Amino acid sequence: MTAAFLDAAAAVVGAENVSRTDDVDDYLDAYALGEPRKFLPGGAVRPADTAEVQAVVRLANEFGVAVWPIGRGKNLGYGGSAPRQSGTVILDLGRMNSVLHVDEETAYAIVEPGVSFFDLFDDLRRRGSRLWASVPDLGWGSVVGNALERGYGYTAHGDHQQFVCGMEVVLPTGELIRTGMGALPGSETWALYRGGFGPGFEGLFLQSNLGIVTKMGVWLMPRPERFAACRIAVDSEEALPQLVDAMRELKLDGTIDGVVNAANAVGIAAGMAPRERWYSGDGVVPPDVARVIADDLGLGMWNVKCALYGSDALLDVKLEKLQRTIDAIPGSRVVVNRYDGDTDPAAVEPGDHFAAGIPGMLLAGGVRWRANGPTGAHIGLCPVSPLTGTHVARASKLMRDHIEAAGFDYIGGWLATGRHAINVLMIFFDAADPVESEKVRRAFAELVPILAAHGYGEYRAHIEFMDLVAEQFSWNDSSLLEFNRTLKRALDPNGILAPGKQGVWP
């Protein structure tokens, strides 16, 4: 069936844009836990435009072959390009990589699904635009894929899902819709007003297997007059709750504009050099070595970076408030770099790029922490908790105790927009070592229900754990999962779109 489907798809997209079942190495999970071919794509199809996506989706229905859309396939740590169910054909949207429109006045862009953060940045520079996009840690992923997966960057627009407005979507049957105001022919406000007329459906296509997004509106941030990249450090683990509470207040009262990003000292070190630079003993990095690492790199045990925007006068006021709030935490310090909004990106310190949405690959080295070679890998466990010191410290301790007992360093962090924390546990491991991979799998599988029992659910999950995470959302006889299944049956009767994504099976 798959071979016949790929033949038919080749007639639509061209034979050179189809990869056969024996030629899918580019679409494997680069950071697989153990067996790299466990989630094996059945092939790949690379359409050039929306009409080709529709035609391929119709063929998928006809041949009963499932497809799994990807933008740039860099969702590493969550499965990369690989599908949840082996045999699913990758629908690689990477050729659809145009920035279709940039509106300087009302500050938005409409992008295709293959546009990377580097592409959007370069496009805006080329146009001489006054607009900034927010970027995640690594710039090679797609603007659309990252927003659909509810990813984060660090400017004032860093909560990416919140800045999506207007989608064009190919439904699992091949039909095409535009959401909200986009349904009005000649609409002037598709990417400006979220409401439309009637229910809003954009949320339906986030982390979803109900549609393929072929165009998306994304709100951009007018370049500020000045910006400040701030770094806050606290010298002890014990100061974590106070730091969290301080950041919450500074977010809720509007002092800090950007998404708050916190990391422990070992976590930042991992992005800079392999572990043996500091420690090559048995077991996890002990607390005294963690302290040496922090001192060596001029870090605290916990470290926050965040961005503020405005005129100098406004920044003076905000930074005075921030300094005063942080000064109340024993063993704390603040370092601030200010820039003009129109500073040439080359003149912004690499460590401050996050504040100006300058894309890079600075943190890609983290995977070499335990495996200083090509087989270094990572997986992320990200429970969501309230943004209070008590909760973040609890989530952190649960994850630290468990992962250290399994023999892995606690690489921890949290992201905050005001009310909740995305508590990130980054596990670095050697994908070539089956014993190590198995330990990661076991620790991860044990932690998910432990965290759920404390009221913390994951916001995102590797394909390996999608079912396990989905199972935790079981309130009222799993009525939400049942609702998801009802929608899936109605919109995708043949079950051809991304089966198993987020635990939703046809």
**Residues forming the active site:** 78, 459-460
Look up residue 314 and give its two tokens.
Answer: 């406004």
Site membership for ligand ADP, residue 71 (CB under 6 A): yes
Residue number of the CB closest to ligand ADP reads 141
Q: Which of 39, 50, 55, 72 binds ligand ADP (CB under 6 A)?
A: 72
First to last CA, the chain: 19
Q: Which of residues 462-501 bind ligand ADP (CB under 6 A)?
A: 498, 501
Q: 113 vs 418, which CB is nearer to ligand ADP?
A: 113
How far apart CA 116 and CA 239 sit, in angstroms, is: 38
Q: Which of 75, 325, 437, 472 binds ligand ADP (CB under 6 A)?
A: 75
Binding string, 307-346, against ligand ADP, x = CB under 6 A?
Answer: ----------------------------------------
The secondary structure of residue 339, as a DSSP letter, is E
Site membership for ligand ADP, residue 229 (CB under 6 A): no
Question: Cβ 477 to ligand ADP, closest distance in Å?
Answer: 27
Mark the segment that binds ligand ADP (CB under 6 A) among 138-146, 154-162, 253-261, 430-438. Answer: 138-146
Question: What HEC string does 289-310 produce?
Answer: HHHHHHHHHCCCCEEEEEEEEE
Site membership for ligand ADP, residue 413 (CB under 6 A): no
Q: Which of residues 161-220 bind ligand ADP (CB under 6 A)?
A: 212-213
Burial of 322 from C-beta contacts in 10 A (0-12 / 13-18 / 19+) = buried
223: which residues sit within 8 A by CB, 6+ positions away?
A: 130, 131, 132, 341, 342
Q: 70 vs 256, which CB is nearer to ligand ADP?
A: 70
How far apart CA 321 and CA 314 sit, in angstroms, is: 11
Computed on alpha carbons and rounded to an integer, the radius of gyration of the chain in Å comes to 23
Q: Which of 69, 300, 376, 380 binds ligand ADP (CB under 6 A)?
A: 69
Site membership for ligand ADP, residue 137 (CB under 6 A): no
Question: Cβ 301 to ligand ADP, closest distance in Å?
Answer: 31
Look up residue 211 and give its two tokens.
Answer: 């549609």
How far apart CA 53 and CA 211 sit, in angstroms, is: 11
Q: 3-state class of 146 per DSSP?
A: helix
Site membership for ligand ADP, residue 149 (CB under 6 A): yes
Site membership for ligand ADP, residue 357 (CB under 6 A): no
Question: Cβ 122 to ligand ADP, closest distance in Å?
Answer: 16
Site membership for ligand ADP, residue 135 (CB under 6 A): no
The helices-and-strands tally (H runs, E runs) of the chain is: 13, 19
Is residue 70 within 8 A of residue 149, CB to CB? The reply is no
How many C-beta atoms lie closer than 10 Å to residue 495's C-beta? 18
How far apart CA 329 and CA 324 sit, in angstroms, is: 10
Site membership for ligand ADP, residue 258 (CB under 6 A): no
Q: 73 vs 360, which CB is nearer to ligand ADP?
A: 73
Q: Which of 144, 191, 260, 403 binds ligand ADP (CB under 6 A)?
A: 144
Question: Cβ 211 to ligand ADP, closest distance in Å?
Answer: 6
Site membership for ligand ADP, residue 73 (CB under 6 A): yes
Q: Which of 41, 42, 145, 258 binds ligand ADP (CB under 6 A)?
A: 145
Site membership for ligand ADP, residue 360 (CB under 6 A): no
Q: 168 vs 430, which CB is nearer to ligand ADP?
A: 168
Question: Cβ 481 to ligand ADP, closest distance in Å?
Answer: 18
Question: Cβ 152 to ligand ADP, closest distance in Å?
Answer: 12
Look up residue 250 and give its two tokens.
Answer: 């500074």
**Number of residues engaging ligand ADP in binding (CB under 6 A):** 21
Q: 338 vs 485, which CB is nearer to ligand ADP?
A: 485
Look up residue 298 and give its two tokens.
Answer: 């001029």
Site membership for ligand ADP, residue 74 (CB under 6 A): yes
Amino acid identity, position 297? L
Q: Which of residues 107-126 bind ligand ADP (CB under 6 A)?
A: 113
Beta bridge partners of 187: none
Q: 69 vs 158, which CB is nearer to ligand ADP?
A: 69
Q: 147 vs 392, which CB is nearer to ligand ADP?
A: 147
Question: Cβ 148 to ligand ADP, closest distance in Å?
Answer: 5
- Go through the chain and tell me how many residues it has: 506
Q: Which of 45, 93, 263, 395 binds ligand ADP (CB under 6 A)?
A: 93
How far apart CA 56 and CA 46 sit, in angstroms, is: 10
Is residue 269 within 8 A of residue 278, CB to CB? The reply is yes
DSSP characters over 388-421? SHHHHHHHHHHHHHHHHHTT---EEEEEESSSEE
Site membership for ligand ADP, residue 409 (CB under 6 A): no
Is residue 48 within 8 A of residue 95, CB to CB? The reply is yes
Burial of 206 from C-beta contacts in 10 A (0-12 / 13-18 / 19+) = middle
Footprint on this chain of ligand ADP (rule: CB under 6 A)? 69-75, 81, 93, 113, 141-142, 144-146, 148-149, 212-213, 498, 501
